[in-house]
Each structure stands twice: as structure tokens, then as C-alpha cells.
Structure 1
């Protein structure tokens, strides 16, 4: 029973705190980078896009699944195993956030001009890795695959070739639009429906 209590309440809360710290560090990092530049309209736009992307990531994370992690572990037939799987999902999401932070700094440093391949990897790859982790998290809590997140990853991949010929800021805007689309789809699905109870497989 003690093991269930530790995994059911404390561990999911620690995972959530870790993810929120990573998102907060992203905003702080890009803010500090912004203060060391001349603050052109393009750089200001990059700052706003980074902040909005962080808000969207938070919204996508907490959309029902992130809210009931503790409850999912408590009703699980194998709390320890489910706790480990939830932890692995959070690792992917935090890695994605780190990529996003690196990409945001690149965008802020040079919002115009042609994007470099490595920059495009982190600008679009960061949200994709985050969504992959979020897919794993939803599989843990509801034992299903989140189709909307797969669509988001596919959109990011398909956008990469044309965005390679544009400026870094355009790639950041495109990534934010994909995240916005997922957040809006989540809100549309949740509208007028009762909160869903967890149904973990483990």
C-alpha cells in the first residue's frame, strides 16, 4: 500500500513539476537572450511565438491526461510499472522542450535569412518529440493512441522541406500553428463532455 501511495500521488506530481520547470526555463532562457539583442520587430515576434508555444505545450500536456496521472496510477493493476512508463513519457517531453528552447534561441539570434538544417531539426523536432512523449503518456493513462498528436507530428515532418527555404522565424511560426491546431482540437473534443476517467492497461 505504501508503494501505491508513493507512485500514485508523489511521483506523478514530481513528473509534472519537472515538466513545468523545463517550460519555465525555456521562457526565462529566451527572455534573457532577447535582452541581449537589439529587439527588432522580428526578434520581438520570435519572443512572443516562444511564449505562446510554451503556453500551448502546457495546455496540450494538461489536457485531461496530465491532470489525472495520480488517479491513473492509483487505479492501475501494476502501479510501479505504470509509474515507470509515465516517467519515460515525461523524459521524451522534457527532451522535446529542451530542443524547443535551443531552437528558440537560434530563431531569436537570426530570425531572418535562410534557416540552417540543424536549426530546423530542433525548431520542428522539439515539438515532434514532445508530442511523441505525450502520445506515450496518453497510452499510459487511457490505453489508446492519440491520433491528433500523430497528425501533428506528420504535419511537422511534411512542413520541414518547404520551410528549409524560408527564415527560422517562419519555421517557429509554423510549429506554433501546429501546436495551436492540436490545442484547439483538444478543446473541441472536450466541449460539452464529462471529464474522462483513466483506464490504464497496466
Structure 2
């Protein structure tokens, strides 16, 4: 037992220092940036597809009530504006190359981080309220065709889904993305320091 304690003590004293070259760190950081760009592009595509699907619903189905048309209009405009905001942020991280313009890229990444913070806080609530308003106007006509159980189910599911997205999902995504972007900024700052110091 004493030999085990000595081995454990020796293990705790032993520190391994791992050093990465600037090139290795840059390759890893570029891989993470590509993952971030891919995820952002998927978000934009998803929003565009949902906007097209709602517009197709509007074009291919006949609605009698003006409230349905208003609800669909509000929903399409909201999704369209949010898609443009996502695209603007995507261009920040996609347009500059870190190796050509390191400081510009770092500034863009910091701006992207700030924009994402705004997106998940104040802009998110605008999006949720506008989308909910559009759904309410849309439901005025649609719910009249449903029986009581279907009405309760549709309203309940929509309310629970919006609540879930606004609380649990939003916080989880926000925390994960905040940590990921912060680590990426830190990594690029370390790479810049290694490149600038001989």
C-alpha cells in the first residue's frame, strides 16, 4: 500500500507540458471556424426553407379570413428579417481570412459574438412575440375548422413548444455558443501573439 501511495504522489508531482505550434493551433482553430460557419449556414437554410414553406401554404391554400393572411404575413416577415440578421452575422465570420488579416478577423469574431448575444436576448424576444402574434392571427380561422380536442391540442402544443424554445433550448444553445466563440477568440488571440513574437 505504501508503494501505491508513493506512485500516486510521484504521478501528482509529474506535470506534462504540452506545447502546440502556431500552425497546429491555427489548423485546429480553422476547423472550429469551419464548424461554426457550417452551423450558421444550416440555420440560414433552415429559416429560408421554413419561410418558403409558409409562403407555399399561403399560395396553395385558400383562406377566407383576413386574419389568416395577416398572420401568415407577420410570420413570413418575422422569419425573413431574422434570416437576414443571421446572414449578416454569417458574413462576418465567412468573409475575412485570419492568415491574411488577423486583427480584422479577430474584430469580426468579437462583433459576431456580440451580435449573437443580442440575437439570443433582446432580438429573440422580438422574434418570439412577432411569431406568436402571427400564429394567433393564423389560428383564428384555422381553429374554427377543428373540434374542441384538436383546438386544445393545437394551442397546447404551440404554447409548450414556444415555452420550451424560449427557456430551456435558448439557454442551452446560448451557453454552448458563448463558450465556443469565447474559446475561439482566445485561441486566435494566442495564435496572433505567437505569430507576432519571434
TM-score, length basis structure 1 = 0.41
What TM-score comes out, normalization by structure 2 length? 0.42
The structure where helix makes up a greater share of residues is 2
